[in-house]
Amino acid sequence: MLTDLDFAIFEANHVDGFVNEVEPAVAEALRGAGLAQVVDGSLEFTAVGPFWKFKNAVADTIAAVVGPQSELSDVSDGLWLIERTIRKALREAAIAASGGSWRRNLFNKAIADNVLGRARGDVYPTAATVSDLRDPTEWLSLGELLEVVRSPQFDGLSWDAVAWKHFTQDIVPIRNRLSHMRLLKKDDRATVRMWVNRVKLTLT
C-alpha cells in the first residue's frame, strides 16, 4: 500500500487526484480509513486539512519502515542467482573465445580501467592489469555487465536484443530499489521469479 501511494503521490505527482490512480485494493483501504469516499459516482480524497499534510504523513510513514519486507529474502535470492548466472555465462563465453587470455580480451579499455580501479581499491592493491584479477566479471557494475554481454563480441549470449531490453526494464529498477534500501513494490517478487526461471532455462 505504501509503495502504491509513493508512486501515485510522489513519482506520478497526481496530488489529491491520486485516489483514482492507485490499485483498487488501496483505494478501498483509503475508503475504509475515511480518507476517501464516493461522491456523485467518483472517488474523492476527503481528508481534513491541506493535502501537503497527508503527503508529508505518507513520506514520514515510508521513512519509518526500517524492518525488512516479507518478500525481501525471495527478491534478494532471485537477484543474486540472476546476476551471478549472467556473470558466469559471460565468463564461460570469454574463455571459450579467448582461452587463457580471456581476462585481457573481456572488455574495452574504459571498462577495464573502471574494473581495475575498483579491484585495486578493495582487495587487489598490487594488481597492474585486469589480467591479475581472479575474475574481472565480479568487478563489473550491473550496467557495465549488461553493456559487455550485449556488445558485438558476445552478441547477447543466447538472448536477443528484445529479451535484454525487457530484462533491463524489469530487473534494473528492482535491483536499484534493493541496493538503495527503498521499499520493494507489489509485483517485484513475481517479476524476479519469472526472470529466475528464464535465466535457469536459457543461460545455464
Q: In the structure grid, which three cell numbers stand for residue 2, read together?
A: 505504501
Q: Evaluate if residue 137 carries a pLDDT over 90.
A: yes
With a pLDDT cut of 90, the percent of the chain lying above it is 79
Q: Phi/psi of residue 44, each to 5°?
A: -130, 145
Query: Tell me, what's the pLDDT at 113?
Result: 96
Element (H, E) at 165: helix 161-179
Q: What residue ranges do the domains of the chain occupy? A: 2-63, 72-202
Mean pLDDT of 150-178: 96
22-26, 60-64, 116-120, 138-142: segment of lowest average pLDDT: 22-26
Q: Evaluate if residue 67 carries a pLDDT over 80.
A: yes
Distance CA 131, CA 61 (A): 49
